Amino acid sequence: MPPTAEFRCTDDDCPLDMLEAHYTYDMPDDVGVDDFECPYCGGATLDAIEV
């Protein structure tokens, strides 16, 4: 299975609780939380949630 990653927006005012990213096998190994931004508020301040 391709990996999935879960992120949380660090903006206290943002109502988005959590988002889950589903990668394909083509996703480079060095992609991480810094490569994503919040799809709701656009803030580039996400924390990775360890699952």
Number of residues that bind Zn ion (CB under 5 A): 8
Widest distance between CA atoms in the chain: 34
- CB neighbour class for 12 (10 Å; exposed up to 12, middle 13-18, buried from 19): exposed
Specify the residue, 31 or 44, whose C-beta has the smaller distance to Zn ion: 44
Would you say 40 and 32 are in contact if contact means Cβ atoms under 8 Å apart? no
Q: Which of 8, 14, 19, 48 binds Zn ion (CB under 5 A)?
A: 14
Residue 38 binds to Zn ion (criterion: CB under 5 A): yes
Residue 46 binds to Zn ion (criterion: CB under 5 A): no
Residue ranges in contact with Zn ion by CB under 5 A: 9, 11, 14, 16, 38, 40-41, 43
